[in-house]
Every structure is written in structure tokens, then in C-alpha cells.
Amino acid sequence: MNALIWIVLPYACLAVFTAGHVWRWRHDQFGWTTHTSQLLENRLLRLGSPLFHLGAFGVIGGHAMGLLIPASWTAAVGVSEHTYHLVSVTGGTITGIMLVVGLALLIARRFVNGRIRRVTTTMDKILYAALAAMVVLGMSGTVVINLFGDGYDYRETIAVWFRGIFWFQPDPSLMSGAPLVFQLHAIGGFLFLALWPFTRLVHVWSAPLAYLWRPYVVYRGRRTPAPAPQPAPAAVRDTAQPTADADTHGQQAVTTRS
């Protein structure tokens, strides 16, 4: 059972994550978007979206540092375990609170506003439920165990197992002694990766990063009066038509008198 959960499941989820993105790009490019509902409601979105995204960036960055950077590397540069623990718990708590508040506002927006609720799809509901579960498990491990509890050094067990997945040498025994909340968080993380390509989260890979180095657009004021707007072609035709008809009738009248 340990091998199934801690070896087979991660690789299966990573395979679905990769193949799902390829399938989505080839068969649903028009759906590769945020499906924004800003035009329907902007008040809660304007507050919840920045909190959620900033909190998510902080949480993802904290996970990357904790799981990918070995403890020996931070010790080699003079960062003690106590300092690392203090920084990681403080930063994780702050960014986690931002993520919780932002996600709560986005979920409330979906169900309180009738117009937003009508355009919320089944996959949106599954996505928000998965996000909420991940956030609850993550905050439980950070706050309940590491902040107010006895603490757990995941860098010696979970992080080593996680890095072993990418070296094709995962050791399931490292996860057997981890607290249940950390185990559920790890399983939920890989299941969330399998869900990713079938949700609106695919827009992450199409983020307009070029805006960061795009040159400024310079607007100059007009010193002379603006020219009169040119009439539309349809208006010109409508104006010219009665004149042409009058000229035709005039020619016919001259011909008759002759």
C-alpha cells in the first residue's frame, strides 16, 4: 500500500498533468482562458483576487524552498535550523492567511452573487473545493503543528521523498512516519496537479510576462485643434443620392420641352 500511495500515485498524477495539458491545448484552445467574470461583479473580485494571487505566490515559493532546497545547503550558508524554522513558519502563516482570505472572498462571490453563480461551472466548484481542502490541510500543518504544536521537521523526510520522485528514487518509508495532516497534504497536492489541466488554472502558462519588459507607450498632447471628423461613406452616399435624382429629373424636363 505504501508503494501504491507514495510511488505509483505521484507518477500517475504527473502523467495526467502532462498529458492533460497537451490534450487541452490541442482540443480546447478557445477554453484556454481565465473565464473572467469581472464584468458581472468587480467589488469582491478587486479585493479577493490580489490577496489570493499574492498569497498563492508566497505559498508556492515557500513550498519550493522547503521541498527543493536540502537542509545541508541552508546550513552551509550559515542559516541555522532555528532561523529557518522561524522564517518559514512566519512567512507561511502570513501568506497562508492572505490565501485563505482571498479564497474565501472568491468563493463567497461565486455563491452570493446570482449572476456569478449562474455562470459557475461544475469544474469551477470542484476546483474551489480542492483549493479549500489544500489550504485547510496546509494551514493545519503550518499553524497547528509547527507554530503552536511540537513541530515537525519535514525537510528530513517529506522533502527527501519529494526530491526522490524526480530522481526516480522515491523512498516510501520516509512518508510512513509523517503526521497524517502532512500525508494528506502531500496526496492532495498530487491529486490537485492531476486536476489542474482540466480547470481554468491553465491560464497560468499563458500569463502575459512580456508586459514586464514591454516599452512604455508615450501619449503626447495635441497642440492644434483636432480636425473635423470625416463623414461616414454611408452618409455621403445618402446626401449625394437626392442631388443625382434632381439632375436626372431636370434633364428629363428639358428634353420634354424641346
Positions at the binding site for heme b: 53, 63, 185, 203
Would you list which residues are annotated within the binding site?
A: 53, 63, 185, 203
Pick left, alpha or beta for residue 168 (phi over 0 → left; psi -120 to 50 → alpha; otherwise beta).
Answer: left
Question: Can you tell me the distance from the alpha carbon of 81 to that of 93, in angstroms, rounded to the nearest whole number?
Answer: 18
Question: In the 8-state DSSP scheme, what is residue 148?
Answer: S
Q: Which cell goes with 22?
A: 497537451
Cα within 13 Å of Cα(54), Cβ side: 13
Burial class (CB in 10 A: 0-12, 13-18, 19+), 17: middle
Phi, psi (deg, nearest 5) at residue 225:
-60, 145
Asked whether 159 and 66 are in contact (CB, 8 A), the reply is: yes
Pick left, alpha or beta for residue 118 (phi over 0 → left; psi -120 to 50 → alpha; otherwise beta).
Answer: alpha
Using alpha carbons only, give the angle 78, 82, 83 rounded to the nearest 5 degrees.
55
